[in-house]
Amino acid sequence: MAGTNATVSTYGLTHLALGVRDPAHAFAFYRRVFGMVAVYEQADFIQAQTPGARDVLVFERSTGVSGSGSIAHFGFRLTDAADIDVAVTAVREAGGTIVEQGEFVPGEPYVFARDLDGYLLEIWYELPTPADPTSDRPRPRLTSRDQRRREG
């Protein structure tokens, strides 16, 4: 309806379709780095998902330009900052290349890498934000005073 402030409830941005030279080859990279599994496969495309998440990457055979085109990059948010080194190793072992690695601010490491088709992806850890689902936020630690109050 025109003039309303209604919004559509979604799970957020859930998928990207990437034009790639070889869908199976492209999928293998993401399987090795992120443990993605194929949920739909046809001759010219593979739809893959990260177990336990609602994200989807679709690898579509393309004879056109690949390697980010007008997509600057896309990202995968780590659940633990300490896993950044695991991510770097996984990218290299899967045949990708590291473009840049650092920390946005203390406690928020990142790495930019290129996959086998030249797409630029970011793997990073971000401290919890107010927009995160509450189940993803770390639970506040109780002080000994709070614990006594809770028990009393």
Q: Lay out the sheet containing 109-114: strands in order across.
A: 74-77, 120-124, 109-114, 97-103
Rounded to whole angstroms, the Cα distance separating 99 from 122 reads 10
Count of structural domains within the chain: 1
What is the CATH number for 23? 3.10.180.10
Q: Is 71 helix (H, G, I), strand (E, B) or coil?
A: coil
Task: Kindly report, residue by residue over 109-127, the tens digit of the pLDDT.
Answer: 999 999 999 999 999 999 9
Is 144 part of a structural domain of the chain? no
pLDDT tens by residue, 27-55: 999 999 999 999 999 989 999 999 988 89
Q: Is residue 151 part of a domain?
A: no
Instruction: From 99, 113, 119, 94, select the one nearest 19 (Cα to Cα).
Output: 119
pTM above 0.75? Answer: no
Tell me which residue range forms the domain holding 46: 15-131
